[in-house]
Amino acid sequence: MVVEFTPARPVVVELSAQDLRNRLYEALDVYVTAMGYPRGTEHHRAPMWSEHITRPGWRAVGALLTDTSGSIGPDSPLVAIAYGYRGAPQQWWHAQVHAGMRKAGWSDAEIRDLLTDYFEVTEVHVHPDAQGHRLGQTMLDKLLDGRTERRALLSTPEVADEDNRAWRLYRRLGFTDVVRDFTFAGDSRPFAVLSRDLPL
């Protein structure tokens, strides 16, 4: 008898709110592992991610590994996660970026223009074992496909010479600088805030 064996491969799919609730700790494990954060970080993040799911315009995508028959289902391992939602003035991130833009010399009119109609790409993470195979790019394509907002905004840690996969991915997709070397309240690390007009 010949047994057909299909190697597992990642498939990028949209995740419903219930899908992500069911897989919350699995997704947080991808996040903690990809970012190299200490174990336990997921417990602090779980309530925040759960609240984000309820925000207007929330959307998530993930990469699931196929089984030996090439199919995916509720038990397929999750190897990557990306999500975001529509930005709004009452949100913490929005207020922080607003203050950062003002400090960086943007005028009120420019700030209003940039922050009036955007999708915040809140999280993009690929498990280290699955990185380097365009999953990041495929997830962002799917996450931003058909969005009605005028642009997408995100923040990412500063790294020397923009020399990591996240920076190469965002630059390749055409994200440009809004604020550089910005420190969010409660985090001493410098971040960049980047923007890209939609559609991609």
Binding site for ligand COA (CB under 6 A): 34-35, 124-126, 131-137, 156, 165-166, 168-169, 172
Find the shortest distance in angstroms from Cβ 156 to ligand COA. Answer: 4
Find tokens 């309820």 and name the residue.
54
For 131, residues 6+ apart whose C-beta sits below 8 A from its C-beta are 34, 165
Measured from the CB atom, the residue of 108 and 125 that comes closer to ligand COA is 125
CB of 35 to ligand COA, least distance (A): 5
Find the residue with minimal CB distance to ligand COA.
136
Taking the complex as a whole, the smallest distance from the CB of residue 70 to ligand COA amounts, in Å, to 21
Nearer to ligand COA, 4 or 163 (CB): 163
Contact residues for 44 (Cβ-Cβ < 8 A; gap 6+): none
Active site residue 25: no
Contact present, 145 and 139 (Cβ < 8 Å): no
Catalytic residue (choose from 83, 85, 118, 170): 170
Minimum gap (Å) between residue 112 Cβ and ligand COA: 25
Minimum CB distance to ligand COA smaller for 115 or for 153: 153
For ligand COA, the closer of residues 43 and 165 by Cβ is 165
Residues tagged active-site: 170
